[in-house]
Amino acid sequence: MVQSAEEKKIIALTAELNKVEGVLALSNPLPEKVKANITHIQGGEKKEKKKTKKPKKNKEQQKKGEQWKKKLPKDGEPKTKKRNKQTYHWFIHHIA
C-alpha cells in the first residue's frame, strides 16, 4: 500500500497533535479544582451566609426624625423647609 504525500502529512500532523496534547494535559490537582469549581457554580456545596442585622433603635429614631416631612403644610405655610443646611420640598406623594 503506497501512501500519498497528503496522507503522510496527515499522519505526521496527527502524531504531533497527540504529542502536544500529552504535554498540555492537566496535572492531577488541577482537574479536582476544576470539578470543585464547576459544582460550586452549579449550586453544589453552598455555604450559609450570615446576615448582619442593623439595630432597630436607629431605624425608629430615623422615623421619628422624618415625621415632620410627612405632615401636610397648612394654608399659608411654605411648601419648602430648611433643615441642617438643606432645603426640603413638600409634595403630595410624601404622605405615603
- Written as nine digits, the cell of 31 is 482537574
Cell 432597630 found at:
56
| Assigned domain for 33 exists | yes
Beta strands in the chain (DSSP E): 80-83, 86-89
| Assigned domain for 23 exists | yes
| Assigned domain for 50 exists | no
Residue 62: helix, strand or coil by DSSP?
A: helix
| Assigned domain for 77 exists | no
- pLDDT at residue 9, rounded to an integer: 92
| Assigned domain for 66 exists | no
Q: Tens of pLDDT along 2-35?
A: 788 899 999 999 998 888 877 776 656 666 677 6
Domain count within the chain: 1
| Assigned domain for 14 exists | yes
Q: pTM, whole model, 2 decimals?
A: 0.32
- Written as nine digits, the cell of 54 is 442593623
Containing structural domain, residue 35: 5-41
Half-sphere exposure of 36 (CA within 13 A, CB side): 5
| Assigned domain for 31 exists | yes
| Assigned domain for 13 exists | yes
